[in-house]
Structures are given as C-alpha cells and as structure tokens.
C-alpha cells in the first residue's frame, strides 16, 4: 500500500488544477486516470477544443466556396480531422507533462474503486494497487446518455459526440437525435462541412427553454442553412443496412422513415460513477445519479470532495475550474467562497452565428414577478456584423426597471461568445445598464452594439 496526502480520481479541469496547487505546497498527490486519451479532461480531448477546431474548419470551408463538390468537401473534412487530432494531442501531452513532471505528483493509469473513505484500489494494466490518503477528490466527469431505443446500442453507425469527432469520412447524410445545444452545434458544424443534416427533437420546439423570439430566431437561422429541423418527433427504432441506417419515427401521428449514413445521439450526459463503489466510502448519490455534495462540494464522507460534471451541476469546464476555487479556499483556509456565491454563469453555442446567454430570460423574469423592460436589437443594425457579412441574428437584454440592473441577455450574433462576458461582468458587479449604454467602445466592433442595445 502506498500513502499519499491526496488522491484525485479523474484528470479533468478541476482535478488537474487542484493537483498542481497541492503539489506546489509540498503535498504528495496521486492523480488517477482510467483513459490515456483523457489527460486534461473532456474539454481539450473530446469536448470544447476539438469541436471548436472543427467548427472553425467548417466555417472556413463554408467561406471558401459553396460550389465545391461533396467529394472535395469530404477531403477538406479529412484535413480538418488531422488538424483537430494534432491540436488535441499537443494539449493532452502538455497537460500530462505538467503533472507527471512534478516530483510531488504520481500519474497512475488505471480504474479506481473505493475500499473505504481513505483507501482506493486501482486496477492498472499490470497490477492492482492500494492507495491511502487523508483527502480524496472525485473528478470523473460525465458520459453520454444513450436512450433505450432499439437499434442504437452497439451500432457502428451510431455515435456520441466523442466518436463522431473521430469519424474519418464525412457522412453525406447525418441524423441527430436530440435538439439541445450540443445537437444544434453539431448540426451547424456538419452542414458547413457539406453533410445533409436532419435533427429529430421530441419536444414541440427547438431551444424550448428560451423565449419564443429567441427560439424562433435560432430555428429560422438553422433552417436557412439547410438543416432539416423536425420537432415533436418520437424515434422508435433504428435498423442497420449495408452502409446506411434506417430511422423509424413518428411525427403528427404519421409513421415515417429516414435513411442516413451516420447518427449522432445528443440526448445529454450523465455523471460518470461507474465502478467507483461509492458506498464503501460512505459517499451518497442524489436521485439524479450525481455525487451528493454540500455548498462547499464536500460529500457525505468528511474527507472526500467532488468537482465538475460528476456533481450534477452545470457541465462546463469553467464551472469545474470554479469548483477548484471552492475546494482550494477550504484547504488553504483563505476563502469561504461556495456554490451559493457563484454568480451568473454564461454559456455559448457555437452555431453560425453563435448564440450566447447569461442570467434570466424575459419569461423567467416575468414568472418571478420582476418589473422589467426588454431591450432588443437586430444584428443587421450592427456595422461590424455587416462587415463580417453575417447580419443575421438578434440581441436581447432584460433589465430590472426599478434598479437599472441587468437581469439577463441572449445574443445571437457574430462574436457573441466574447460580448456575453462584458454583460456578465456588469451583472456580477452591480453595474447598471446605462454604463454599457454610455461606454465608449472601439469601432467597428461587435461590442459597440451594446450602446444601441441598451439605449432603452
């Protein structure tokens, strides 16, 4: 048995950052990772970075000329895959070296399972190890959820987001089951590459959590790209053929079929707890299958914490990093920051043009009984949007009328993923909307549109 000060299970954003901090204080740390392809976590290997690399390549292909044949586009898609793999491999190696080169960190490749709240068994390729530590941190992330639809499981033509981004050939026809943000982002990306994309959504509308004007704008933009959006559908089964798959579904009482070369299942992700044997450590799980924690991310075992997707909170790499800040504050005694103090968390969907949101929607604000005024601006009114030749979209903000504070914003426009951070900064610091209305921005930029948006 080998003893450590700390054991971290999972090489994700929160865990790897914590490992570096703990090692810098002289503590001996074991970092356990079961997948050598996941050093650094989901984001750099199978999430944000590879998908945005492909999004960028797809946009460049789209801008380069729509007159290319499918075969030419497929060749450029293969080139994009090569670049994506180069990028992720480089980042993975850098993340590995950053920890493995530390004299206070042992990176152990293997599958972890709790024996008690202080003992962890690790099955490696060559041995079974027993590790002991006073503090243990669970950072095992999440896994794609595949619904129990006949024909999906073990079908080589069926993919989650990870396996689709490893596909060497461009599918001529792609079906996406699930019309959430991940599904829509992949629909936009593969359409830009040249695939014929159909999205099957069981709910009656796309982006149903958004206000109607935002949802309708998103639907209109995606449809204009050539994406076939089928709402209110129920997929009943998938049958494999020689080189294609036949999807059976119902819509408006009709039984229909769709033939495609590839299927992406984008029906969400679930906390990854398989094989951890949490019961042995006294770590409770919620009814939704996540590790149960308090506001300081401490589990029901007094010396065990959880961070990232495994907690069942927002599944973003930047919230995992914020989880690290919470845990570090307790270990160092320098901060009392906890989940209850976490402020507005923005997100972006890298469709074309991108969609970004933070805070309350108009509907949510009205349902909460807030007295509000709503600001709207068409993207076509922004000079920089015209320069970028992407005048489509909508900017919308919700303002608390009595105080002048910004309650939320939804931006569908070029560079919205940068602009949303300005709005979050104002919201987090209690800055009134008039400050953005009256701020002097450089020109021509997308952010200067906040002058006009907040001129209400």
Question: With contact defined as beta carbons under 8 Å apart, do 377 and 410 qualify?
Answer: no
Burial class for 1, CB neighbours closer than 10 Å (0-12, 13-18, 19+): exposed
How far is it, in rounded angstroms, from Cα 14 to Cα 288?
Answer: 21
How far is it, in rounded angstroms, from Cα 58 to Cα 389?
Answer: 16
The H or E element spanning position 108 is strand 105-109
Please report the DSSP string for 267-301 in residue order. Answer: S-EEE--TT--GGGGT--B-TTSSB---TT-B-SS
Question: With contact defined as beta carbons under 8 Å apart, do 279 and 110 qualify?
Answer: no
Question: With contact defined as beta carbons under 8 Å apart, do 269 and 145 qualify?
Answer: yes
Question: With contact defined as beta carbons under 8 Å apart, do 315 and 278 qualify?
Answer: no
How far is it, in rounded angstroms, from Cα 448 to Cα 443?
Answer: 7
DSSP state of 11: -
List b or e across 250-266, with b for residues whose CB sees 16 or more CB atoms inside 10 angstroms.
Answer: eeeeeeeebebbbbbbb
Please report the DSSP string for 162-216 in residue order. Answer: HHHTT-SS--SEEEEE--SHHHHHHHHHHHHHT-EEEEE-SSSSSSTTS-HHHHH
How far is it, in rounded angstroms, from Cα 67 to Cα 417?
Answer: 30
3-state secondary structure of 28: coil
Q: What is the 3-state secondary structure (H, E, C) of 302-365?
A: CCEEECHHHHCCCCCHHHHHHHHHHHHHHHHCCCCCCHHHCCCCCEEECCCCCEEEEECCHHHH
Question: With contact defined as beta carbons under 8 Å apart, do 100 and 89 qualify?
Answer: no
Question: With contact defined as beta carbons under 8 Å apart, do 191 and 183 qualify?
Answer: no
In this structure, what are the phi and psi dihedrals at residue 248, rounded to the nearest 5 degrees? -100, 130
Catalytic residues: 443
How far is it, in rounded angstroms, from Cα 69 to Cα 213?
Answer: 36
């Amino acid at each position: 048995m080998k003893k450590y000060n700390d054991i971290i299970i999972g090489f994700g954003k929160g865990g790897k950052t914590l490992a570096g901090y703990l090692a810098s204080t002289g503590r001996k740390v074991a970092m356990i990772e079961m997948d050598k392809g996941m050093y650094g976590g989901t984001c750099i290997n199978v999430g944000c970075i590879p998908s945005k690399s492909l999004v960028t390549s797809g946009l460049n292909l789209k801008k380069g000329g729509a007159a290319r044949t499918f075969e030419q586009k497929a060749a450029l898609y293969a080139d994009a895959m090569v670049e994506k793999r180069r990028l992720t491999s480089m980042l993975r190696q850098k993340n590995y070296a950053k920890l493995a080169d530390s004299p206070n960190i042992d990176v152990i490749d293997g599958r972890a399972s709790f024996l008690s709240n202080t003992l962890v068994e690790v099955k490696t390729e060559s041995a079974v190890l027993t590790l002991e530590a006073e503090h243990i941190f669970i950072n095992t992330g999440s896994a794609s959820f595949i619904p129990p639809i006949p024909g999906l499981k073990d079908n080589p033509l069926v993919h989650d987001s990870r396996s689709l981004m490893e596909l060497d050939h461009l599918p001529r026809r792609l079906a996406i089951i699930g019309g959430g943000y991940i599904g829509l982002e992949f629909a936009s990306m593969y359409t830009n590459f040249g695939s014929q994309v159909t999205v099957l959504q069981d709910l009656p509308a796309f982006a149903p959590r958004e206000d109607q004007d935002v949802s309708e704008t998103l639907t209109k933009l995606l449809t204009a790209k050539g994406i076939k959006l089928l709402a209110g559908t129920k997929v009943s089964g998938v049958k494999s053929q020689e080189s294609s798959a036949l999807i059976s579904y119902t819509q408006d009482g009709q039984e229909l079929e769709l033939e495609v070369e590839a299927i992406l299942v984008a029906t969400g992700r679930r906390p990854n707890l398989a094989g951890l044997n949490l019961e042995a450590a006294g770590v409770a799980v919620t009814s939704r299958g996540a590790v149960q924690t308090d506001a300081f991310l401490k589990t029901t075992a007094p010396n065990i914490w959880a961070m990232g997707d495994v907690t069942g909170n927002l599944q973003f790499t930047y919230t995992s990093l914020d989880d690290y800040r919470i845990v570090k504050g307790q270990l160092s005694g320098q901060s009392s920051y906890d989940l209850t103090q976490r402020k507005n968390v923005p997100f972006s969907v890298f469709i074309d043009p991108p969609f970004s949101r933070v805070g309350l929607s108009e509907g949510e604000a009205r349902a909460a009984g807030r007295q509000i005024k709503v600001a709207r601006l068409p993207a076509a009114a922004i000079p920089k949007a015209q320069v970028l030749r992407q005048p489509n979209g909508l900017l919308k903000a919700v303002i608390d009328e009595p105080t002048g504070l910004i309650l939320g914003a939804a931006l569908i426009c070029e560079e919205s993923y940068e602009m949303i951070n300005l709005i979050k900064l104002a919201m987090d610091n209690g800055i009134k909307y008039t400050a953005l209305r009256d701020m002097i921005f450089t020109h021509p930029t997308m952010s200067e549109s906040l002058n006009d948006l907040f001129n209400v």
